[in-house]
Amino acid sequence: MVWAGEEFGPFSLWPHLPDCPRIAVILPFVGLFAAVIVAATPSSQLCTREQSFTDSTPGCKNTATPHVFQPAFLNVSKWIWTGENPTPGGNNIISTRPLRKNITTPCDKCAICATIVVASDDAHTFYVNGVRIGAGGDFKQGQALFVALQPSWNLFAVAGQNTIANSPAGVMATILIHYTDGTSATFITDESWRTLEAAPPTNFQLASTDDSSWAFAAIQGTFENSVWGQPTLPPVLPLSGSKWIWTSNTANTGAAVASCAFRKTINQCAKVAVCATVLIFADDHYTLYVNGASVGSGSFAGGAAIAYTIPNLLPTLNTFAINATNDVGSAGLVATILVTYQDGSNETVVTDGSWKATLTVPQGFESPTFDDSDWPNANVVGAYGIAPWGTGLAIPSA
Ligand SMILES: *[C@@H]1O[C@H](CO)[C@@H](O)[C@H](O)[C@H]1NC(C)=O
Ligand SMILES: *[C@@H]1O[C@H](CO)[C@@H](O)[C@H](O)[C@H]1NC(C)=O
Ligand SMILES: *[C@@H]1O[C@H](CO)[C@@H](O)[C@H](O)[C@H]1NC(C)=O
Ligand SMILES: *[C@@H]1O[C@H](CO)[C@@H](O)[C@H](O)[C@H]1NC(C)=O
Ligand SMILES: [Ca+2]
Ligand SMILES: [Ca+2]
């Protein structure tokens, strides 16, 4: 499967990439810079920096723009394990095994962030560039992970666990890498991954560990054909922790026919924000803006929440603004935002009483510099799940 403007395949499609000379290692410098800014503005609520790290990395100017979320399909991936049982999908001992892959960026591109969908029998801990980014264990449904990347190469490492004696063991992942030029590429677990028929050595997840003498992984099955059946994709993000908000706390039973403005500023001075994924729904319709730019619109009539990828966050200050309109009856806005930071961490921001809201939509309300300090906080209508909306909302897959 090939998306427009996208290359697909295991990295072996680019077998002889030269090392790209263009990328300076600036990440520690960025971290230091951010720390200096924090120290210099101890009493301020706001911190700003002119450039994102890609803008200041030669050859990594970020021209990627927000777009509707593209799933990282599991159905192109393969189950892998060590091959210590030569029968694919055969039984294995209770064990933990390391699996690693260094994915190098094509020379004319810079990686910026990734969506990862991973399933495992029986469990996995997933690391990117040495940082633990998540853990789970389910061969029936994948787990979705989001992570910021390094420009020129990224080390993906998994500790796979077989916790049941004499049972099949495997890990299956699809990694969708977004580049700063707006393109993306899909990578999968396959026979190019490295593994050991032994417990993961100390620091196996770190780039400083050399895996060049490790064995190649053995295919245990494909998505279509394996002992596990076909795992389902997880929802892109949960809405379960989000609140329905509006300008009145009884909007679920009826609200004025009007457009309301909502704003949330994410101001994280100590870290460098890279990408965001937004899942949003409104009764009856909305337009979402990030840092003043229109991202997309959706309506109740669509019956489904819509997810967007924002690949161009500003380093420390990001403004999410929504113009939401009630046409009839109940009114509400519900959203979950997941921000990835350069250090491998993430932050989930949900609609709640900390958002700002007004019953009119002033001109320029979406601008990062718009002053919302005299707006009241949004009213919490209720937790996700309350009537009349319930939990039946369709949520796109990761
Ligand atoms: C994977 O699933 C998607 C969505 O269901 C579908 O569009 C695509 O054709 C599938 N690809 C393969 C290789 O089966
Ligand atoms: C966010 O970070 C936490 C803590 O490391 C991790 O457990 C979780 O899997 C991450 N979430 C996503 C969606 O990547
Ligand atoms: C990944 O590959 C790149 C390009 O060959 C190399 O510069 C980098 O050191 C490798 N990293 C690891 C952890 O193997
Ligand atoms: C808000 O949305 C409504 C309904 O789509 C539209 O009529 C109005 O012009 C929008 N207001 C602003 C300031 O964008
Ligand atoms: Ca098992
Ligand atoms: Ca309504």
Domains annotated on the chain, with CATH: 6-23+58-222 (2.60.120.260), 243-383 (2.60.120.260)
Q: pLDDT digits over 329-348, tens only?
A: 999 999 999 999 999 999 99
H or E stretch including 35?
A: helix 27-40
Mean pLDDT value of segment 180-205: 98
Q: What's the gap in Å between 298 CA and the centre of ligand 6?
A: 13
Residue 312: which of 273, 282, 281 has the closest Cα?
273
Residue 167 CB–ligand 3 contact under 6 Å: no
What residue has token string 């229109």? 294
Best substitution site from 102, 128, 131, 192 to test ligand 3's pocket, by max atoms within 8 Å of Cβ? 102
Burial of 327 (0-12, 13-18, 19+ CB in 10 A): middle
Question: What are 59's two structure tokens?
Answer: 């050859």
Best substitution site from 113, 133, 156, 240 to test ligand 2's pocket, by max atoms within 8 Å of Cβ? 133
Q: Phi, psi (5° rounding) for residue 218?
A: -110, 135
**Residue 38 scores a pLDDT above 60:** no
Q: Which residue's CA is minimally distant from atom 10 of ligand 1?
A: 75
pTM: 0.90
Cα–Cα dist 61/58, whole Å: 7
Q: What is the pLDDT, as a whole number, of residue 55?
A: 59
Cα–Cα dist 29/53, whole Å: 10
Q: Residues enclosing ligand 4, CB less than 6 A?
A: 259, 323, 325, 361, 363, 365
Q: What's the gap in Å between 302 CA and the centre of ligand 6?
A: 13
Q: What is the pLDDT, as a whole number, of residue 56?
A: 62
CB 206 within 8 A of CB 257: no
Q: What is the pLDDT, as a whole number, of residue 1?
A: 32
Q: Which ligand does the CA of 8 lie closest to?
A: 1
Residues 6+ apart with CB under 8 A from 243: 334, 350, 351, 352, 353, 380, 381, 382, 383, 384
CB 376 within 8 A of CB 356: yes
Q: What's the gap in Å between 264 CA and the centre of ligand 4?
A: 18
User: What percent of the chain is modeled with pLDDT above 70?
Assistant: 86
Q: What's the gap in Å between 75 CA and the centre of ligand 1?
A: 6
**Residue 98 scores a pLDDT above 60:** yes
Q: pLDDT digits over 148-191, tens only?
A: 999 999 999 999 999 999 999 999 999 999 999 999 999 999 99
Question: What are 159's two structure tokens?
Answer: 């500790």
**For residues 255, 360, 320 and 264, what is the CA-based torsion angle, rounded to 10 degrees?**
-80
Mean pLDDT value of segment 8-26: 36
Q: What's the gap in Å between 299 CA and the centre of ligand 1?
A: 26
Mean pLDDT value of segment 239-246: 98
Q: Which residue's CA is minimally distant from atom 7 of ligand 4?
A: 259
Cα–Cα dist 204/207, whole Å: 8
Task: List residues bridging with 141 in a β-sheet.
Answer: 232
Cα–Cα dist 288/280, whole Å: 9
Q: What is the pLDDT, as a whole number, of residue 303?
A: 84
Q: Which atom of ligand 4 is nearest to the CA of 365?
A: 13
Q: Which residue's CA is minimally distant from atom 12 of ligand 4?
A: 361
pLDDT grade for 17, boundaries at 50, 70 and 90:
very low
Q: What is the pLDDT, as a whole number, of residue 46?
A: 58
Secondary structure (3-state) at 34: helix
Mean pLDDT value of segment 94-119: 97
Q: What is the pLDDT, as a whole number, of residue 340?
A: 98
Q: pLDDT digits over 251-297, tens only?
A: 999 999 999 999 999 999 889 999 999 999 999 999 999 999 999 99
Cα–Cα dist 164/160, whole Å: 13
Sign of CA dihedral 147, 149, 154, 155: negative
pLDDT grade for 54, boundaries at 50, 70 and 90:
low
Cα–Cα dist 155/129, whole Å: 5
What residue has token string 């840092």? 291
Q: What is the pLDDT, as a whole number, of residue 222?
A: 98
Average pLDDT, the chain: 89
User: What percent of the chain is modeled with pLDDT above 90?
Assistant: 82
Of 37-41, 150-154, 386-390, where does mean pLDDT reach its minimum?
37-41
Q: What is the pLDDT, as a whole number, of residue 60?
A: 87
Q: What is the pLDDT, as a whole number, of residue 193?
A: 98
Burial code (b: 16+ CB inside 10 Å, e: under 16) for 112-150 equals: bbbbbbbbbbbbbbbbbbebebbbbbbbeebbbbbbbbb
Q: Which atom of ligand 4 is nearest to the CA of 261?
A: 1
